[in-house]
Amino acid sequence: MRILYIFPRTTPDPAERAAEHARRQAILQAAASPGTTVDLRELEGCPPAIESVRDGYAVAPAVIAMAEALEHAYDAMIVGCFGDPAVDGAIEGTGIPIVGCAQPSMAAALLLGQRFAILAPSASSAARNRTAVMTYGLLDRYAGSVPLGIGVREFQRDPERTLAVATEAGRQALTLGADVIVLGCLSLAFTGIDGTLQERLGVPVVNPLRVAVRTCEMLVGAGLTPSRRFAAQNADVTLASSRH
């Protein structure tokens, strides 16, 4: 099985780009089952990180273009951002399983406890998480989102601080009524703090990159792919309208 991890950003520094690709590629491959290959490809002409709604929209055309161009080379794809940018658009134009990282992680959280909370990089991303939870129809299982106050590109630069801040945020999430914690950023997920955080908090901590990889494997293994019925219905409506 071959899975493509679409890295939805453009790293300005070539040396940083090469090093970060190698680091993330190794982590992704370690998360996969034997017999699965996970490739990583970065977008071109995009922001260096997704830290706003605008950034999410900015990467959308490149996400869709890459998914459609490489569809026949892979069994499934992951859009590597917790905002799930352009996942719906990529699904609409392809015929393979394509997943984001937020929706699979929330689905996994539902199997692990009664209410989940999300650790977010910033206050604005925490607010966007609520919008996503509403979109996915999960508000009754959502305890809230706690911002860490750390930039997306800063998580790996000081892992000890990241872990300390995430631990405190996780404890705050527990006071909100959560019994499952979701790491709400892929850069945070790639630090590998989930195991230590789980031990410290005593509740399940969902790492979205691991869940996304295994979700792709599950869908391919089960012979399942996302429904395109809604897109087809919209196309029929548009065609009918054009005839009048």
Can you give the CATH number for the domain in which 48 is found?
3.40.50.12500
**Residues 114 and 83 placed together within one structural domain of the fold:** no
In a domain, 239, yes or no: no
**Residues 76 and 129 placed together within one structural domain of the fold:** no
- Residue 130: how many other CB atoms lie within 10 Å: 15
Q: Which pLDDT band, with edges at 50, 70 and 90, does 235 fall under?
A: very low
**Residues 110 and 195 placed together within one structural domain of the fold:** yes
**Residues 203 and 108 placed together within one structural domain of the fold:** yes
In a domain, 45, yes or no: yes
**Residues 109 and 198 placed together within one structural domain of the fold:** yes
Task: Determine if residue 144 is left, alpha or beta; phi over 0 gives left, psi from -120 to 50 gives alpha, anything else beta.
Answer: left
Q: Count the domains in the chain.
A: 2
Give dist(CA 154, CA 84) in Å, integer: 21
> Residue 119 — φ and ψ, nearest 5°?
-90, 120
Per-residue pLDDT of 122-177, as tens digits, reads 999 999 999 999 999 999 999 999 999 998 888 988 889 999 999 999 999 999 99
**Residues 79 and 18 placed together within one structural domain of the fold:** yes
Per-residue pLDDT of 6-37, as tens digits, reads 999 899 899 999 999 999 999 999 999 999 99
The boundaries of the domain holding residue 158 are 102-208
In a domain, 35, yes or no: yes
